[in-house]
Structure 1
Amino acid sequence: MSTARPIAARPTTARRRLFSAGAAAWPLLAAVLGIVAVWYGVTYLVLAPERRFLLPPLHEVLGNTLGNPNVMNPMFDALWQTVGVALCGLAIAVVLGIGYAVVMAQAGWAEKILYPYAVILQTIPILALTPLIGIWLGYGFSARIVVCVIIALFPMIANTLFGLQSAGPAAHDLFTLNRATRVQRLLKLQFPAALPSIFTGLRNAAGLSVIGAIVGDFFFQQGSPGIGGLLRTYTLRLNMDALFMAIILTALFGVAMFSVFAALDRAVIGRWYGRGAA
């Protein structure tokens, strides 16, 4: 009796996932290394020694801040405050943006009436609205969330509306033939078709919510200080080591927010459309 030849073992799922994660992470790592290289190049090759305090080298920034609890403890507290503002603002922007887009997608006249307001809100510089927001709502937590919502809202509206309108005429005709209600058409046709666009808007809004939270922290000083408030304080005091450390933490927070929603996008959209199930 002949024995069957052993079949070469296929890579395990864990190994494939690890390889995919590494392939996705290397461009970000390369970008970070490039930024560090440019940083050191400017510090040591462009700036004169007496002006090197304007851009201290990375190892000095880390050495003078990471081991100093008097610097890092307030910075982490401020970052946590900013995280809360960004997440609250993003959640409100997602709910309002999707709801606004759903209303516009129901009728052409609704889009013609409502969409210009979204465009106007997007085109007005947030720095022009910030003083009014402070006067109306005070200079605390609520005002910071409003600034965050205003900045993050438009990507959710525009991308969700585009997605809801992306279902083809043939699919709409099929639902009409089966006498689907407006709610059934929305939930079973338009929302599934809009998922990729919704997650694109979510990724963009996540990054903008971080910017909105920092802008609100920068201008509104009442209550617990956020990372934007510390950036302002460090700038006024020319505390360059702490300033650059705060910028690094802010950048890491922004990258983390974007990465979380990008991973969620791949998981949900990939599963919905049958991708990634290799």
Structure 2
Amino acid sequence: MTAATIPPLTTDATAPSGRQATASVRRTSVPVSILRHGLPPLISLAVAIAIWYFVSYVILSPARQFLLPPPHEVLTHALLDRAHVEPMLDALMVTAKVSLVGFLFAALIGVSIGVVMSRGSFLERAIYPWAVVLQVIPVLAIVPLIGLWFGYGMVARTIVCVIIAIFPIIANTHFGLVSVDKGAHELFTLSRASGVQRLIKLEFPSAMPSMMTGFRTASGLVVVGAIIGDMFFAKGQPGIGTLLDIYRARLQSDDLIAAIVLASLFGIVVFGIFSVLNAMVNRRR
């Protein structure tokens, strides 16, 4: 009885190796990921533009079409017209400066208040209700008071930004600091670390994801605050909110919509930057 012969193992030279297959999967997954995340917004944008055209040409009569001019007229008469878009960009730069200064002050004050609240339950109960009041009070109701106290220039605009954006920073900073692992606190106690060392080396790094969430939320709110401040405090350089109010009063719908588009894009960019930073912080953890 003869033993069965086993055919020798042969390798196919044309078969991809493990690394090549992994690279191929990655190359094919990138376009799929782009389509999965980018296609829905593009479809919704196309639908919105189609609805815009429908309202402009079908619902509105020619005599009332100035209320909502079609997109191509906004593009050609405002966004692509240098004489119209340059004042908008200059005003947007003013709003961006106010937003940046307002965010820096909101971050500094909000983090400081969050740290103080985390030092004890008495301080938390004493401060947190006032932070809630600051959040729920209508900003438009106290805008005249802000103007009366601080004038109608850049200082008042910055204060409006701080009032609108500070609560998420306070709440998320406080939550992150009080959520630090107790075992880590005990290790620092055994090491006889000072309060400053504990805060800088333990609490802030552990609370950073929560704090970044607060910063991301505040980044969108601070743009809204800057635009509101522009509308009510027109002294000094005009911001994009000032131009919005002027275009509304003059019934310049093309310029009004173009300014809204620029302000929206600015807010989206700011929020996107902090979303990326937030993702980077969470990934490093």
Q: TM-score, structure 2 length as denominator?
A: 0.86
Aligned residue number for residue 263 of structure 1:
276
Q: Please, which of 165, 169, 182 is the counterpart of residue 156 of structure 1?
A: 169
Aligned residue number for residue 166 of structure 1:
179
Change (3 A) 1:67 1:263: same
Spell out, residue by residue over 1:111-162, the C-alpha distance to the aligned partner (whole angstroms, 9 max, x if none).
1111111111111111111111111111111111111111111111011111
Where 1:97 maps in the other structure, the secondary structure is helix
Change (3 A) 1:261 1:33: farther
Describe how 1:1-278 pairs up with structure 2 within 5 A.
7-8=17-18, 9=20, 10-11=22-23, 24-271=37-284, 273=285
8 Å CA contact retained: 2:94, 2:238: yes
**Whole-Å Cα distance in 1 between the matches of residues 30 and 276 of structure 2?**
12
Spell out, residue by residue over 1:168-207, the C-alpha distance to the aligned partner (whole angstroms, 9 max, x if none).
4444344444444333332333222322211111111000
Counterpart residue type for residue 151 of structure 2 = G
Q: TM-score, structure 1 length as denominator?
A: 0.88
Higher CA-based Rg: 2
Change (3 A) 1:21 1:261: farther
RMSD: 2.6
**Whole-Å Cα distance in 2 between the matches of residues 104 and 63 of structure 1?**
53
Where 2:268 maps in the other structure, the secondary structure is helix
Counterpart residue type for residue 7 of structure 1 = S
After the TM superposition, which of the residue ranges 76-85 and 34-43 deviates more from structure 2? 34-43
After the TM superposition, which of the residue ranges 184-193 and 154-163 deviates more from structure 2? 184-193
Where 1:11 maps in the other structure, the secondary structure is helix
**Whole-Å Cα distance in 2 between the matches of residues 26 and 179 of structure 1?**
55
After the TM superposition, which of the residue ranges 121-130 and 171-180 deviates more from structure 2? 171-180
**Whole-Å Cα distance in 2 between the matches of residues 244 and 261 of structure 1?**
26
Structure 1's unaligned 5+ residue stretches are 274-278
Change (3 A) 1:19 1:258: farther
What displacement does 1:31 show?
A: 4.2
**Whole-Å Cα distance in 2 between the matches of residues 100 and 17 of structure 1?**
43
Counterpart residue type for residue 11 of structure 1 = A
Counterpart residue type for residue 172 of structure 2 = N
**Whole-Å Cα distance in 2 between the matches of residues 57 and 196 of structure 1?**
43
Structure 2's unaligned 5+ residue stretches are 1-9
**Whole-Å Cα distance in 2 between the matches of residues 177 and 29 of structure 1?**
56
8 Å CA contact retained: 2:152, 2:233: yes
**Whole-Å Cα distance in 2 between the matches of residues 26 and 188 of structure 1?**
43
Spell out, residue by residue over 1:77-115, the C-alpha distance to the aligned partner (whole angstroms, 9 max, x if none).
101111110111011111111111011101111111111
Counterpart residue type for residue 160 of structure 1 = T
Change (3 A) 1:228 1:124: same
**Whole-Å Cα distance in 2 between the matches of residues 93 and 18 of structure 1?**
40
Where 2:180 maps in the other structure, the secondary structure is coil
Change (3 A) 1:182 1:20: farther
After the TM superposition, which of the residue ranges 256-265 and 62-71 deviates more from structure 2? 62-71
Alignment: residue pair count: 272
